[in-house]
Amino acid sequence: MKRMLLIARREYFAYARTVGFWLSMLALPALMLLGGMMPAMIKNASPTRTVAIVDFAGGQQAALTAALDARYVTAQAKAMREAAVSEAGEPGADAVREAVDRDGLEAGLAALKRVAPRAGAAYAPPKRDLRVVAAPPEVASAPTLAAAEKALRPHLTGGELSAVVLLERRDGELKARLWSERVSDEAVETAVRDALRDVIRRDRLIAAGLDPATATSLAELKPKLDVFSPKSAGGGEVSLRDRLPGVVGFVLGMLLWSSVISGASILMNSVMEEKSNRVLEVLMSSASTTEILGGKVLGVAMITATVLGVWFGLGAYALRMLLPGLADDLGSVLLDGGLIFYLALYLVGGYLMYAMVFAAIGAFCETPRDAQTLLGPVMIVLSVPIIVMQMAVRTPDLPLIKTMSMVPFFAPFLMSARAPSNPPLIEVVIALAGMAAVGALMVWLGGKAFRAGALSSGKFDWRGVFALMTGRG
Amino acid sequence: MDVALKLEGVSKRYGRFEAVKDLSFEVPRGSICGFLGPNGAGKTSTIRMILGLSPPSAGQITVLGGEGGNAVRDRIGFLPEERGLYRKMTPVDAIAFFAGLKGVPLGEGRKRAKKLLEAQGLGASMKKPMKALSKGMAQKVQLMAAIAHEPDLVILDEPFSGLDPVNQQGLEDVIRDLADRGTTVLFSTHVMQHAERLCRQVVLLARGEKVFEGTVEAARARAPRFLELEGALATDAVAGLPGVAAVEAAGDPAAGTATYRATLAPGAAPQEALKTAFARGLDVRRFEMKEPTLHDAFIVLTGGRA
């Protein structure tokens, strides 16, 4: 046991003391942080565009201005709802949205402060992406559309205006010509197109005989759809909390897969390095194969645990700080029915099975090229769970998924993906028992292969492997 | 006799190929034993069986009183033929790690490592990574790693290969020092000079079979002695001397003088050959009796089988 721990210790520090280890460990949180912050940073960095409207259609400027302003109200309503959801849950968030729709932004902010005091206090309205301003006099007073177009150019190239919308009526249709400061400013283009559609829709409804108030209410119609399921936590309405297990399952399945692959690969490279450095023979004269393999597997498992621990720790801290409600929900999903315990078992089982296979491969190889030959079939097996992972999350009860998730080599990943949907206990037991049996078999076979491979020399070939394994080489 | 290592009828087969055939020998405790043989003779296979790295196909191996090397792993030190250490480890850490695997606490292992490295003149390099050391330095470190736990039996597989003459001399000193302290040393080599200088006992292997076991002197006695003669001599005249079994000429007899290496028959007295040469009036200007070396014995005993 002492030898095993000593080998594990060496293995751990051999990686933990490298700059690459810390870089790769911190790369994911840094990327996630950057990925999370980037949209907000881009949005904040973008200037508020100034848009002027010149109306040659007659009486449409106010309607288009109102439609463009309404977009900002919608954006604020969405931001308030998103701010509320973590602290107040779906019902609280819906209440905030309804308050905005019913009584305006002030009422919405009051509702937000009431249902989610922390989020309400920290709420800052999103930056406005465009503002309607008065057109320059020479443009506004241009007698024709062509004259206006000639007059507006200096104002765009001089940076005074971001865009000018020229409204006209042709063939009885309201149409617009958009002059933009930049060739590719899709934000203004999209905003004007949406606002114009709202105006035209309202006009047509009025033309069809509806009164203006009805036409406006139809244009602003937002159907409220409540979703229910007997499998939801409350036995009725489906909330974000009910959908969270599926997301958690998928994320954990993928995380488990990447952890097993990276851990097993580290192990294989370590064994390969020791074999090519001729250290393996000395190690084998100092410790048993079980101690060497056990120590290496344990050392790399500690590396994986460190990485996962840091990721979970940072993730949990960030969630608690930024989205405390979601953090609580995630916590309850992980603790519900001992999910985290099962996940730990799947991680250990999966890692053990693949670690032994990868270690045995490493013992037969001295170069990555040698390893490629042997890794091919293993990678094909490993790619199967990735292909069906999403299906396992969406339809965890599908007979094909159920069957596949009990195949020991797929079980760690597919059962992790299915775990949050609470699969029947018998299936969990079968999967775990299968993993344990195959894990034990892999320990035995891997140990035998490791011993045979470690003492082999020369170029790798399948016949040689078989001969060594059967003691004839 | 107190025996550290005993092999009885040991064989090793890889499929149809028999690498070691019915090998038996003993190594007395506290002695230095040379395990000699040409490349491919089965030395490394035998060492691996002694260490317990691969099981014998037949026979029994007793190491330090235990059955096989696995039983007494902590009391054995091993330097493999193809050497290597963790490239990023420092010599101190590497020695302490391998000593740790043999049961020496890490702190104590580090102390011993520093002491050994200082003694070997590697004090200045003890904190450099292994990859920064020269090949000779790295080999010394690996030897230190093999003996830092103060083993009772040290097995060195071709320890002198790749070392320059100065380092070879240093390694010979280390081996003698180990034996002086009561450690049994078994080392394999195909360079006979080292065995000749270090060993009292040698075991010779050829094509997996033992061809000799005994003292260096006994091995030498199995090879013929030589009489070297120089002068204006004819090959036939030298070959006709009593006790001369064969003659090998060196130099050109037509030039007036030549050197002949006359192989003496087993048991033949060189004095008789010399006396006859002078009695016959042969023009002998220089003569020298040449005792056979272990190398000569090796050639004879292996029958030139590699």
- pLDDT tens for each residue of B143-156: 888 888 889 999 98
Every domain of chain B with CATH number 3.40.50.300 lies at 3-220
pLDDT in tens, A35-61: 877 777 777 777 788 899 988 888 888
Q: Give the pairing of strands B226-232 and B283-290.
A: antiparallel
Percent of chain B with pLDDT over 90: 6
A370 versus B280: the higher-pLDDT residue is B280
**Are the beta carbons of A90 and A102 closer than 8 angstroms?**
no
Every domain of chain B with CATH number 3.30.70 lies at 226-290
CATH architecture of B226-290: 2-Layer Sandwich (3.30)
Interface of A with B in 436-455 (CB under 8 A): 455
Are B54 and A455 a contacting pair at CB < 8 A? yes
Average pLDDT over every residue of A25-34: 84
Q: B263 CA to chain A: closest CA distance, Å?
A: 43
Query: Which residue's structure tokens are 């490239």?
Result: B87
Are A6 and B15 a contacting pair at CB < 8 A? no
Q: How far apart are CA B122 and CA B184, in angstroms?
A: 25
CA dihedral angle for residue A376, residue A382, residue A385, residue A388, rounded to 10 degrees: -20
Predicted pLDDT at A362: 79
**Nearest residue to A363 (alpha-carbon basis) of A466, A275, A470:** A275
Nearest-CA residue of chain A relative to B94? A10
Q: Measure CB to CB from residue A472 to each of B15, B73, B85 and give the nearest one.
A: B15
Whether the predicted pLDDT of A110 surpasses 70: yes
Biggest CA pair distance of chain B: 76
**Best residue of B51, B101, B157 to probe chain A, by most A CBs closer than 10 Å:** B101
Nearest-CA residue of chain B relative to A278? B84
Are B70 and A284 a contacting pair at CB < 8 A? no
Q: How far apart are CA A411 and CA A387, in angstroms?
A: 14
Predicted pLDDT at A418: 81
Predicted pLDDT at A438: 85
**Nearest residue to B52 (alpha-carbon basis) of A287, A458, A363:** A287
**Are the beta carbons of B265 and B166 closer than 8 angstroms?**
no
Residues of A in contact with B101 (CB under 8 A): 3, 6-7, 283, 286-287
Q: Measure CB to CB from residue A279 to each of B15, B69, B84 and give the nearest one.
A: B84
Are A277 and B97 a contacting pair at CB < 8 A? no
Nearest-CA residue of chain A relative to B52? A285
Would you place residue A232 in the very low, low, confident or very high pLDDT band (cuts 50, 70, 90)? low
Whether the predicted pLDDT of B305 surpasses 60: no
A243 versus A406: the higher-pLDDT residue is A406
Q: Measure CB to CB from residue A277 to each of B78, B87, B102 and give the nearest one.
A: B87
User: Burial of B278 by CB count in 10 Å (0-12 exposed, 13-18 middle, 19+ buried)?
Assistant: exposed
Two tokens, residue A416: 């992790």
A462 versus B303: the higher-pLDDT residue is B303
A284 interface with B at CB cutoff 8 Å: yes
Are B86 and A277 a contacting pair at CB < 8 A? yes
Residues of A in contact with B15 (CB under 8 A): 467, 472-473
Q: A273 CA to chain B: closest CA distance, Å?
A: 9
Residues of B in contact with A288 (CB under 8 A): 70
pLDDT in tens, B175-197: 888 888 889 999 888 778 888 88
Nearest-CA residue of chain A relative to B102? A286
Whether the predicted pLDDT of B222 surpasses 60: yes
Whether the predicted pLDDT of A371 surpasses 60: yes
**Are the beta carbons of A449 and A363 closer than 8 angstroms?**
yes
pLDDT in tens, B245-270: 888 887 665 666 788 888 888 778 88
Q: B102 CA to chain A: closest CA distance, Å?
A: 6
Are A281 and B53 a contacting pair at CB < 8 A? yes
Would you place residue A467 in the very low, low, confident or very high pLDDT band (cuts 50, 70, 90)? low
Q: How far apart are CA A428 and CA A434, in angstroms?
A: 10
Would you place residue B97 in the very low, low, confident or very high pLDDT band (cuts 50, 70, 90)? very high
A470 interface with B at CB cutoff 8 Å: no
Are B78 and A282 a contacting pair at CB < 8 A? yes
**Are the beta carbons of B116 and B144 closer than 8 angstroms?**
yes
Residues of B in contact with A14 (CB under 8 A): 86, 88
Number of CB pairs, chain A paired with chain B, less than 8 A apart: 61
Query: Which residue's structure tokens are 């009860």?
Result: A397
Q: How far apart are CA B157 and CA B37, in angstroms?
A: 12
Would you place residue A473 in the very low, low, confident or very high pLDDT band (cuts 50, 70, 90)? very low
Q: Write the DSSP string, B213-269.
A: EEEHHHHHHTSPPEEEEEEE--HHHHHTSTTEEEEEEES-GGGS-EEEEEEEPTT--
Query: Which residue's structure tokens are 């040290």?
Result: B154
In CATH terms, the fold of domain B3-220 is Rossmann fold (3.40.50)
A173 interface with B at CB cutoff 8 Å: no
Two tokens, residue A460: 């790798």
Q: How far apart are CA B3 and CA A356, in angstroms?
A: 40
Q: B143 CA to chain A: closest CA distance, Å?
A: 11
**Are the beta carbons of A340 and A248 closer than 8 angstroms?**
no
Q: Measure CB to CB from residue A278 to each of B51, B82, B145 and give the nearest one.
A: B82
Predicted pLDDT at B251: 67
Least confident of A80-94, A98-112, A315-329, A447-461: A447-461
Whether the predicted pLDDT of A117 surpasses 50: yes
- ipTM, 2 decimals? 0.77
Are A279 and B86 a contacting pair at CB < 8 A? yes
At position A408, the amino acid (one-letter code) is P
**Are the beta carbons of B117 and B126 closer than 8 angstroms?**
yes
Q: What is the mean pLDDT of chain B?
A: 84
Q: Measure CB to CB from residue A278 to each of B53, B69, B80 and give the nearest one.
A: B80
Two tokens, residue A1: 């046991």
Average pLDDT over every residue of B32-54: 86
**Best residue of A5, A6, A270, A282 to probe chain B, by most B CBs closer than 10 Å:** A282
Q: Write the DSSP string, A443-465.
A: HHHHHHHHHHHHH--SS--HHHH
Are B97 and A6 a contacting pair at CB < 8 A? yes
Are A285 and B97 a contacting pair at CB < 8 A? no
